[in-house]
């Protein structure tokens, strides 16, 4: 996490529950902030603006948010955001898939049955102030992302609720974490404005991951999670939290949506890369955290083809554009 402050189970798509180590991108100190966003004591979950779209992705038999949810809304016909060219000019570098055929790379998740026992969750420091209280149905051998972020993502069947931890670790019969968030996948409700989550932007992580099963099926029908080294002290819904002290309006706020330009030729890309690039044209990417420029995240799978995915690294950020999905909060 690049911020300061403040049953049988399925892992990913096909593997069994196991520990996973993932190489994390180092946090750029230029984005550190001395305090969390101000949160009102009576803050309530709010409903984001939504637009008509297609269907919903499905994981573990659960629809991942309603079809009109922001994550599932196409952006290929939305207008450009004012200052799009200036923002893109600041976001140097090429696309970089932050996952691959080595199962130790990527952000793992686990699907647990409705009967999974809930266990206590303890939050470090002041993390409980912006976290959903436990217990959470996290199994003792749930996979933990390697590196400093240590994300733990659990989707419970039946309830179709998503439980996510930041810097999660086993502690006695339960878990300890910096922050925790629970998302009802049947609802468009957001976290209270100003609240973080297991992600710096206050967003859920799982809905923005590229998963092998959807790529193998030939379509990704949701936005993709992405990071940038410098972000703005602002957020655009569905994000609810910023993680920067910079007020430069050219920098991307959390929740900013970008898309691959429609005139960029992706016909020569190999199969896995072409599916991902198509999604970036249709659904775009969403700024979810601070990290290396143009790094986007996926779930681990031994079925990824590194040579195939590697062709995406030849796509420069300059062939993207910023779309308007709402005004920023700061």
How confident is the model at residue 41, as a pLDDT?
38
pLDDT surpasses 60 at 114: yes
pLDDT in tens, 75-98: 999 999 999 999 999 999 999 999
Residue 310's contacts (CB-CB under 8 Å, 6 or more residues apart) are 97
197-216 per-position pLDDT tens digit: 999 999 999 999 999 999 99
Cα–Cα distance between 106 and 15 in angstroms, integer? Answer: 14
Dump pLDDT digits (tens) for 14-71.
333 333 333 333 333 333 333 344 444 344 566 655 555 568 999 999 999 999 999 9
Q: What is the mean pLDDT of the chain?
A: 88
What pLDDT score does 32 carry?
Answer: 37
The predicted model gives 299-312 an average pLDDT of 97
**According to the model, what pLDDT value does residue 53 have?**
58
Residue 187: which of 63, 287, 43 has the closest Cα? 63
Tokens representing residue 285 in the block:
């990417």
Strands (E), 7-64: 10-11, 58-59, 62-63
Local confidence band at 146 (pLDDT 50, 70, 90 cut-offs):
confident
Determine the pLDDT at residue 45. 63
Q: What is the structure's pLDDT at 46?
A: 65
Residue 138 near residue 144 (C-beta atoms within 8 A): no
User: What pLDDT is recorded for position 44?
Assistant: 57
Q: Which of the 8 DSSP states describes residue 213?
A: H
Q: Please, which pLDDT band fits residue 147 given cuts at 50, 70 and 90?
A: confident
Q: Residue 307: enclosing H or E segment and its boundaries?
A: helix 306-310
Pairwise CA distance, residues 107 & 118, whole Å: 22
Over the stretch 177-200, which tens digit does the pLDDT of each residue have?
999 999 999 999 999 999 999 999
- pLDDT, average across residues 1-17: 38
Residue position matching structure tokens 């600041």: 90
Q: How far apart are CA 119 and CA 138, in angstroms?
A: 7
Of 46-55, 138-147, 169-178, the one with minimum mean pLDDT is 46-55
pLDDT at 7 over 50: no
Tell me: the pLDDT tens digits for 263-289? 999 999 999 999 999 999 999 999 999
């Amino acid at each position: 996490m690049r911020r300061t402050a403040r049953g049988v189970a399925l892992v990913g798509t096909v593997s069994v529950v196991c520990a996973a180590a993932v190489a994390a991108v180092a946090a750029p100190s230029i984005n550190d902030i001395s305090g969390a966003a101000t949160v009102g004591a009576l803050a309530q979950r709010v409903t984001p603006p939504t637009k008509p779209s297609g269907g919903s992705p499905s994981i573990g038999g659960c629809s991942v948010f309603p079809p009109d949810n922001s994550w599932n809304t196409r952006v290929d016909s939305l207008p450009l955001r004012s200052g799009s060219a200036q923002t893109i000019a600041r976001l140097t570098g090429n696309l970089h898939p932050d996952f691959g055929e080595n199962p130790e790379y990527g952000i793992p998740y686990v699907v647990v049955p409705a009967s999974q026992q809930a266990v206590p969750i303890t939050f470090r420091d002041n993390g409980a102030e912006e976290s959903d209280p436990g217990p959470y149905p996290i199994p003792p051998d749930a996979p933990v992302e390697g590196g400093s972020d240590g994300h733990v993502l659990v989707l419970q069947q039946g309830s179709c609720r998503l439980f996510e931890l930041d810097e999660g670790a086993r502690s006695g019969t339960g878990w300890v974490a910096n922050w925790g968030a629970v998302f009802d996948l049947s609802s468009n409700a957001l976290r209270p404005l100003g609240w973080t989550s297991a992600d710096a932007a206050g967003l859920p992580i799982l809905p923005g991951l590229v998963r092998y099963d959807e790529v193998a099926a030939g379509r990704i029908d949701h936005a993709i999670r992405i990071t940038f080294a410098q972000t703005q002290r602002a957020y655009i819904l569905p994000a609810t939290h910023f993680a920067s002290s910079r007020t430069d309006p050219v920098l991307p706020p959390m929740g900013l949506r970008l898309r691959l330009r429609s005139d960029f030729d992706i016909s020569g890309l190999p199969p896995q890369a072409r599916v991902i690039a198509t999604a970036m044209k249709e659904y775009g990417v969403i700024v979810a955290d601070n990290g290396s420029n143009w790094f986007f995240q996926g779930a681990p799978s031994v079925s990824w083809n590194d040579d195939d995915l590697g062709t995406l690294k030849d796509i420069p950020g300059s062939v993207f554009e910023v779309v308007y999905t709402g005004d920023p909060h700061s």
